[in-house]
């Protein structure tokens, strides 16, 4: 049943006959009922669906980071959609037998705050060690910028994140990982936000390591 909001000439919501009404970004939208296509998918559509599914599965699990990292790039959508659109262009790779996520090209945050300089990651027993080098302070690179870290375990399909866990001036952070991660392939990322969290910086891929 459709519900009128402003009389007969106004918009409506829900289903009315073959039409569906909803309100999107302050506008009344009317569309027809969806009818599934009986045509077989083209090769291009199959590839598109595969890439879409891969990224959806990956990015949906770090949506809290995307909400912060892409909050300044929203254009009538959401931070998640902005992040998806950005990563869809570059963050999948064709291996011949199919597509996979291109981990070094994943970006979960963008902005003007300076990236960590010469980021390195290393596995030590029970931890992943992140380290970076000092730089001259600038408007977008302060010693009290706060660091966020992300680790993805490929074998277990698990993400671990630590938000605002260190300062730029600390130059090192040891991220604790579970004992059963030992031997697993980990992909490591990091970015800085400014002190009050209002400004974001682009995330950096630290590399692939095996947990120790």
d(CA 153, CA 181): 8
Q: What is the pLDDT of residue 87?
A: 97
Pair of tokens at residue 130: 């992140």
**Helix H or strand E segment including 95:** none
Q: Where are the domains of the chain?
A: 10-38, 43-105, 120-210
- Determine the longest span between alpha carbons in the chain, in angstroms: 69
pTM over 0.85, yes/no: no
Strand ranges (E), 33-90:
none
pLDDT tens per residue, range 51-89: 999 999 999 999 999 999 999 999 888 999 999 999 999
The pLDDT value recorded for residue 47 is 73
Q: Report the first-to-last Cα separation within the chain, whole angstroms.
A: 59
Q: Which pLDDT does position 192 carry in this prediction?
A: 98
Q: What parts of the chain have a pLDDT lower than 70?
A: 1-20, 23-38, 41, 43-44
Are 55 and 103 spatial neighbours (Cβ–Cβ below 8 Å)? no
**CATH level 2 (architecture), domain 120-210:** Sandwich (2.60)
Q: Are 86 and 109 in contact (CB under 8 A)?
A: no
- Taking the CA atoms of residue 4, residue 10, residue 11 and residue 13 in that order, the dihedral angle to the nearest 10 degrees is 0
Instruction: Provide the sign of the torsion angle of the four alpha carbons 137, 132, 144, 188, taken in this order.
Output: positive
Please state, in angstroms and rounded to a whole number, the distance separating the CA atoms of residues 76 and 74: 6
């Amino acid at each position: 049943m459709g519900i009128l909001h402003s009389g007969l000439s106004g918009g409506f919501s829900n289903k009315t006959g073959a039409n569906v009404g909803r309100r999107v970004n302050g506008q009344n939208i009317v569309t027809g009922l969806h009818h599934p296509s009986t045509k077989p998918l083209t090769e291009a559509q199959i590839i598109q669906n595969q890439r879409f599914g891969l990224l959806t599965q990956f990015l949906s699990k770090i949506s809290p980071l995307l909400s912060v990292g892409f909050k300044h790039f929203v254009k009538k959508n959401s931070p998640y959609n902005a992040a998806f659109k950005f990563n869809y262009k570059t963050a999948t790779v064709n291996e011949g037998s199919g597509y996979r996520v291109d981990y070094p090209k994943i970006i979960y945050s963008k902005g003007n705050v300076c990236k960590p300089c010469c980021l390195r990651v290393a596995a030590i027993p029970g931890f992943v060690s992140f380290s970076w080098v000092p730089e001259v302070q600038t408007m977008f690179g302060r010693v009290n910028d706060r660091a966020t870290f992300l680790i993805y375990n490929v074998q277990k399909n698990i993400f671990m994140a630590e938000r605002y866990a260190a300062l730029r001036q600390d130059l090192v952070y040891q991220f604790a990982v579970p004992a059963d991660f030992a031997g697993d392939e980990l992909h490591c990322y990091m970015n800085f936000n400014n002190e009050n969290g209002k400004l974001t910086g682009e995330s950096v891929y630290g590399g692939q390591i095996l947990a120790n």
